């Protein structure tokens, strides 16, 4: 699962949801996971949202992505 880190003076993380759907493949138990983050802008300016892919042990990180955000 991904965890989100935001500048709490700029953005409020409202929710994180995961949706699943079945894939049409011959492999049993194949599926797609989509994770959605919803934020509320608190003030105008530039900031970042950092996503970290965490493993089964929450201390282990598999990857990190940073997205620039411009709030108008």
Which among 62, 3, 60, 68 has a CA at the least distance from the CA of 35? 3
How would you label 39-58 residue by residue, b for 16+ Cβ within 10 Å and e otherwise? beeeeeeebebeebeeeeee
Check residue 63 and give its pLDDT: 80
- Specify the residue for token string 């042990």: 57
Domain boundaries, given as residue ranges, for the chain: 2-71
* Stated pTM of the model: 0.71
More reliable by pLDDT, 50 or 22: 50
More reliable by pLDDT, 8 or 63: 8
The chain-wide mean pLDDT, for the chain, equals 85
Predicted confidence (pLDDT) per residue in 8-39, tens digit: 999 999 999 988 877 666 666 667 788 999 99
Cα–Cα distance between 19 and 32 in angstroms, integer? 8
């Amino acid at each position: 699962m991904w965890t989100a880190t935001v500048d709490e003076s700029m953005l409020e993380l409202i929710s994180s949801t995961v949706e699943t759907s079945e894939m049409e493949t011959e492999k049993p138990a194949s599926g797609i996971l989509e994770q959605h983050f919803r934020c509320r802008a608190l003030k105008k300016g530039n900031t970042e949202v950092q996503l970290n892919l965490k493993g089964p042990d929450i201390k282990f990180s598999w990857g990190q992505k940073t997205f620039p955000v411009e709030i108008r």
